[in-house]
Amino acid sequence: MAFNFETFPVLQTPRVTLRALKLDDAEPLLALRSSEEINKFVITKRMQNLEEAKDFIQTCNALYKKEKRIFWVLTNQVEILGTIVLHQISLARKYAEIGYKLKTEKQQKGFMSEAMTAVLNFGIEQLNLKTIEAYTHKNNLRSIALLKKHHFVFQAHRKDPSFEHNRIFKREISL
């Protein structure tokens, strides 16, 4: 049975809960999406203020209702550690892209690996995805290591038309 997008999927790992964005999350979301350090490999415009953060939350929630994006916040019940998203979801093509951000001081501690395992399992088991792609900067070695750990394969023959420094990694699911 296909996932119905009626109730937002809350995912649990040993150390983090992945849940939906709430308007109360605007401040920590702004901190994540405006940080020069966290976003040094991301070419897109940084968030500037709380209104942009609130608009982003509303956009994510609207795209969820359209079955195009599932945007989770990673929390350890005390604070928001980061975010992870399945976006560009196409249930017909069994395709999605994955993206993620994590507070600098929480990196290299396994939080994102736990979250990625949960999200990939959800995508495969609940959304029946067969292809998941990630776009990451060629110099973002931590991101590349995370993708390789989770069986993503570098697509040397493909280029990101939007950002020349991005590299495309793909995970094909076969049962």
Where exactly are the structural domains of the chain? 11-172
Question: Strands of 153-154's sheet, edge to edge?
Answer: 11-12, 17-20, 70-75, 80-90, 95-102, 131-137, 166-172, 153-154
pLDDT in tens for each of the 175 residues of the chain?
578 899 999 999 999 999 999 999 999 988 887 766 665 666 667 778 889 999 999 999 999 999 999 999 999 988 999 999 999 999 999 999 999 988 888 989 999 999 999 999 999 999 999 999 999 989 889 999 999 999 999 999 998 888 788 899 999 998 6
pTM for this model (two decimals): 0.92
Quickly name the fold that domain 11-172 has: Aminopeptidase (3.40.630)
> Tell me: the pLDDT tens digits for 115-133?
999 999 999 999 999 999 9
For the CA atoms of 63, 65, 69, 75, the dihedral, rounded to the nearest 10 degrees, stands at: 110
Enumerate the H helices of the chain as residue ranges.
26-34, 50-65, 111-125, 141-149
